[in-house]
Structure 1
Amino acid sequence: MEHQVLDVEQRGEVEWVTLERPDTGNALNGLLVAALVSYFEELRQREEIRVVVLRATGKHFCVGLDMAAGAFSATERSPHSIWSVQREIARIYLAMRKCPQPIISLVQGAACGGGFSLALASDVRIAAEDARMNAAYIKIGLTGCDMGSSYFLPRLVGASVASELLMTGRFIHAPRALAVGLVSEVVARDGLEAAAQLLVGDMLLTAPMGLRLTKEALNFSVDAPSLDAAMAMEDRHQSLLALTEDAGEAALSFFEKRLPQYRNR
């Protein structure tokens, strides 16, 4: 059933993952949640894939939870039933951070609620000129802190902007998102794929293990208790990688003025 809501196209060492519910603004229903959970949890074991590009068809990136979807409109509205749905959706974002591959999100139109969190949980965000994002949860009588927003957003834009967005549900549009560092680049909608290709190309010029451990180091360092702790991890990673065949190949290719031929060894 996954092909109906999620398209996965492999291009060499890169997978382009596309949300395929354009008629609903790519809203998260039960099938799409299950497909995303399955994809990102399995991705952790697939070293042959080095980079993932996450995008969507249609006008919007993802407008959030599909409130009309049967899986999320249970007749029994008990704490347990709602908690079960909540935890199932949360698995998407946890899996995105745990997989070693960098994830590049291409955001066009609206990215709301859970769709906003898909972008936040990615490693790099590239926005179309018409992109707008918000933590929509507070607009429906809930807290603005959901699906990792209270964790990701302050670390990306600082406490003041994060508090403003989470406490109001205001949209942040592409120009301001770029100004506050929420996205890396703003391009025309039809330039999203080309912008991603340039970034992917640079990532693929790095040693495979070096790229994976860079994501790992960033994940741990954002919560590191001290500079000493962060640098201790960096020292271990560098000492390990310095002894790999790929590190020797990187140095040799630099002096020989050619592209490196990595073997992931």
Structure 2
Amino acid sequence: MARLADLKPTHFEWQVRERIAQVRLARPDRKNPLTFDSYAELRDTFRALVYAEDVDVVVFASNEGNFCSGGDVHDIIGPLTKMDMKGLLAFTRMTGDLVKAMIGCGKPIISAVDGVAVGAGAIITMASDMRLATPEAKCAFLFTRVGLAGCDMGACAMLPRIIGQGRAAELLYTGRTMRAEDGLAWGYWNALHDAEVLEEKAMELAERLTAGPVFAHGITKTQLNQEWNMGLDQAIEAEAQAQAICMQTADFERAYRAFVAKEKPVFRGD
């Protein structure tokens, strides 16, 4: 197992406090765009989280009023216009690998979105398990605005499952901004909070998760994603096996003993 509290990333800010990792992109003067290097470093960090023994939850936060403005126009989009097919496919696979790493990291991820979350920034929110935003947040899957298809980084698979096929199709075809109130009504945002309390609310939610049975939370995350590709009979059987695994944990026995004693269980993640 690994410890990530001492991680010193080059391309984003990182802090681990009380088993909650906070990550935020570090270019607020440009509304926090992604670069080739930050994509790769984020991918590698989320891959490492699978083995992290000191992190239970991740909060992907905004930085100085914005979440992420997507791929940097000068550092990414310009060079892409000069690449051959081999280079382009290597890039698009790398960006998709970031989503795979977020899905497969075994830890719940909470996005706390203020300002813009567009392009790949919108994808990061989509790949999170839960999403909080401010009423001013602007989320847009604007790939068609730069002459690309809406099917980027898993958007055509994941976004319809969150907000429905018709709504996802509109956003992906038009690239228009999803207003915060629409995102809340559609179930994209779990809640809206004013900017001055957004991160506090995200941390409160993260703390609630870390106080729970974190091993079982990892199982829940796995099942939420694996069951996309299962029929109902397969899903029920997979959940039977998953729950049987959780019934072998000390947390399950602690919860039973606390119930008998009419006390609140204290979970330890084992």
Q: TM-score range by the shorter chain?
A: over 0.9
**Closer, same or farther in 2 for the Cα pair 1:254/1:11, shift >3 Å?**
farther
How far 1:122 sits from its partner (Å)? 0.3
Question: Is contact 2:211-2:266 (8 Å) kept?
Answer: no
Which one of 154, 157, 164 corresponds to residue 148 of structure 1? 154
* Partner Cα distance (2:215, 2:234) in 1: 21
- The amino acid of 1:235's aligned partner reads A
Matching of residue 174 in structure 1 with residue 180 in structure 2: yes
SS of 1:49's partner is: coil
Q: Find runs of 4+ consecutive structure 1 residues off by over 6 angstroms.
A: none
Residue equivalent to 2:92: 86
Residues 29-68 of structure 1: pairs in structure 2 closer than 5 A: 29-68=35-74
Paired residues in the alignment total 264
Which one of 228, 244, 251 corresponds to residue 246 of structure 1? 251
Question: Is contact 1:2-1:31 (8 Å) kept?
Answer: no
How far 1:2 sits from its partner (Å)? 6.0
* Partner Cα distance (1:193, 1:101) in 2: 18
Aligned-pair identity in percent equals 31
**Aligned-residue CA RMSD (Å):** 1.9
* Partner Cα distance (1:156, 1:62) in 2: 20
**Closer, same or farther in 2 for the Cα pair 1:105/1:249, shift >3 Å?**
same
**Closer, same or farther in 2 for the Cα pair 1:221/1:71, shift >3 Å?**
same
How far 1:55 sits from its partner (Å)? 1.0
Residues 4-45 of structure 1: CA distance to partner in whole angstroms, max 9, x if unpaired? 431111112111111111111111112211221121111111
* Partner Cα distance (2:253, 2:157) in 1: 38
SS of 1:166's partner is: helix
**Closer, same or farther in 2 for the Cα pair 1:141/1:213, shift >3 Å?**
same
- The amino acid of 1:192's aligned partner reads L
* Partner Cα distance (2:173, 2:81) in 1: 30
* Partner Cα distance (1:134, 1:154) in 2: 14
Q: Which 5+ residue runs of structure 2 have no aligned equivalent?
A: 1-6
Residue equivalent to 1:184: 190
**Closer, same or farther in 2 for the Cα pair 1:7/1:257, shift >3 Å?**
farther
Question: Is contact 2:8-2:14 (8 Å) kept?
Answer: no
How far 1:92 sits from its partner (Å)? 0.9
Residue equivalent to 1:28: 34
How far 1:74 sits from its partner (Å)? 5.4
Residue equivalent to 2:3: none
- The amino acid of 1:242's aligned partner reads M
- The amino acid of 2:79's aligned partner reads S
* Partner Cα distance (1:242, 1:75) in 2: 53
Residues 123-147 of structure 1: CA distance to partner in whole angstroms, max 9, x if unpaired? 0000111111111110111111111
Residues 70-116 of structure 1: CA distance to partner in whole angstroms, max 9, x if unpaired? 69615742111211121122211110001100000011111111110
* Partner Cα distance (1:136, 1:2) in 2: 32
* Partner Cα distance (1:158, 1:174) in 2: 16
- The amino acid of 2:267's aligned partner reads Y
Which one of 13, 16, 23 corresponds to residue 22 of structure 2? 16
Out of 215-224 and 129-138, give the one that drifted further. 215-224
**Closer, same or farther in 2 for the Cα pair 1:70/1:107, shift >3 Å?**
closer
* Partner Cα distance (1:28, 1:72) in 2: 13
* Partner Cα distance (1:178, 1:36) in 2: 27
Question: Is contact 1:20-1:56 (8 Å) kept?
Answer: no
Which one of 216, 220, 238 corresponds to residue 214 of structure 1? 220
Residue equivalent to 2:200: 194
- The amino acid of 1:227's aligned partner reads L
Question: Is contact 1:4-1:20 (8 Å) kept?
Answer: no
* Partner Cα distance (2:11, 2:161) in 1: 31
Which one of 125, 128, 131 corresponds to residue 134 of structure 2? 128
- The amino acid of 2:55's aligned partner reads I
How far 1:246 sits from its partner (Å)? 1.4
Question: Is contact 1:72-1:85 (8 Å) kept?
Answer: no
Question: Is contact 1:207-1:264 (8 Å) kept?
Answer: yes
